[in-house]
Structure 1
């Protein structure tokens, strides 16, 4: 969350007044403070915040822990170096990092406040494979009782965490087990040697990967690794992904466990041709795949992780000629999709925490909320429309991934201006889809000359239109100056002497902006006639019901 300096100073005073406890730690934060110690404190404070039902914890550099005095810190004095800490912590925890890093320029010295989200319910946070906590004001290993307390938070309510008593490891697919081992080894290679993990039994590996519980098969194990014929253990809750092709050709196929393999099998069914996007002033087209594999798999894995299996529904992937639509049961569980696109929101809760943690261990998802950001980022880098979430149907999340160019102007703009802020790209994406944007967004895009037109008919501005090499399209959308229409009308009346309303409508309609509908064009012509009449350019020599328009000077000359 963003704070101004006054708000940060107030926050610091509040933290100091309560002094150190299990969810606040003060350090002088010397320049040589190690990333290892930083990671240990993140693990400890996140776990303690979870146990104390706090939504965040704080690690503060630049405050003397004994005197409670602000002494300032020289720790990483550039913003880039501080942001690098986020990535280092993410690497060490493998799925978790700071919510934000705030810098306060206090009168007594620089203070850094690391904002650490609480560990999600049921999911303790480790640093390099070890769990940390607090013993009073000291850093310590997280006690087994505390570790169990966190893990028990969701075991009773998490459908995916339940043990299937009659199932055994023979109910798991051998090829899925092989792939799971490879993925776990790749994910943890920086702290456990591959040679060591190769010697682990399947039972030991699955326990370490949080897929099983003390060697017992869970519903998560059957979903991710189960043999297809073992899906009956999950009945009456169907474990199924349906791919459906719609358009001139129709087809469908159902995919069951193991979902670790099924997601790639679903992607293989999708027809993934190459798209050609022609940059401005270039002869060679830029080619991109219609669908990016990482985007589709990230979206599909999110469906698997967040599906409400108790609703007895299936995951559906609908392939249409120009888009993919992915649907999963259960409403968006934590916040709204837009919370994860522009901000660095960290989800506090999961519908299926046991399944989410297992999928994280097998490198299928992250559980920091970065997956949605990555989907949007990759679509932007491929110059295609951004995804759309539809939450209008109760208890269903619907995600659309576009597989074609909607507006060439938008795509070519992204190719030329790769540094546009994501907020601007999101707004321009809505403009190209003829969706409403906020007044603030519209004002900003106008100031930066990215759009023009009147609400709600915004369209690409001249700057962008020229970049698209579609100048003819731009001219059709652009609203001309009223003097342009006056010249057309006066030239017509000069030549033909007079015109009725039908003549004028036929003359001007095709010259008006295509952004206007028929009703708006009719009203625009009426406004132009009124304006020209009041200025003394034309005069109505007929009636209101049957007008006959002439040039004012010609009419006066006749009289």
Structure 2
């Protein structure tokens, strides 16, 4: 497994942590190797103990005398240790849940060979080993269920600590922490002068929650810093699956892949590269305007940009094994992120946004990558309407959120459900802008001539039957009717009351 920190840092960590009565709920000493079952219980307990004490990591160290913290060295070799015929580390990973990041490190400290197992603190849920979660009570390891007050305290910690604020890598010099980030991009994007003094740079990033300095004056990279400004998210094993994947298919299915590209850099520092890649990848179509042939993007650039930014900001960062993804088909783009939307799919346009990741959303707004609350979706929807594309489809399949933007189709090629969805989305956009939906506005939306207004009248009737819109004023004559979204009728009643 990839080490969490460079080897050079562990001598200092061992010296700092090994002292008389130094064992804690997140530190354990062992003189020599113990059996694999005990190691598994320790890892569970140390991960949970570190989380309870708001420490980024727990440590299990071999070659250290219990109680005194004296360094004596060990012959334990984690590379050759096995459980049966299975390598120890592989066996432990199989029985620990969720799959936390931990690694074994061998280091020489004062001529003593010390083995350190560094265990990432539990995130969101307790770490279990063989279906039991453990915790440290002083220097004693117990099943968590036997200590209910600590179990309650641990869940309170999970509830209060946002994912972005948790330290990902710790125990570094400021220069090493900065070296993992494209930190000059932070200053450039915020239009600040790039400082020459690394201490000043680290302090500024720390004030925005991107870096953290601990009591021992060593530095760590917070998840927020890594996600937005990592040189390579692969350097942060816990976040390695959070990279953005762009996959292109030649047809309408996933049977064949034309190309796949993974963007390993941070979301903020790499955003323009991602958008430039999408602009180059997406097709254009030829239109004739005032007798002149022009190439127009098949998908509005504004919509692609805003929906990708939305995908990044609103993903569930705690979801494991998956990340944000953009799939380009011959007839559509699917933009998906882990985590079901906190807003119902039918209220994406009008409802105030609810973000899981407030710190990330706030900084990306300051940088200019995303809009003020909710206006990004509005801009995307307006650009799609102006291009007279089919209405996008918002979906929340289990564990994910997906937005599909369709390539241009004539009105007659759209399905009945597509047309009704277009009417609903049009009415939502008009309503939040303080305007009404009418036969005339829908003719403009679909590019239908005045002579075919009866087609739109029938469509409005279909949308009324489907319950997605209502007539604003039942007393109005047929030709004067205006329509509003179904949810707006309740708003009007509340305003009257």
TM-score tier (shorter) = 0.3 to 0.5
TM-score by length of 2: 0.46
Structure of higher CA gyration radius: 1
More strand by share: 2
TM-score by length of 1: 0.42
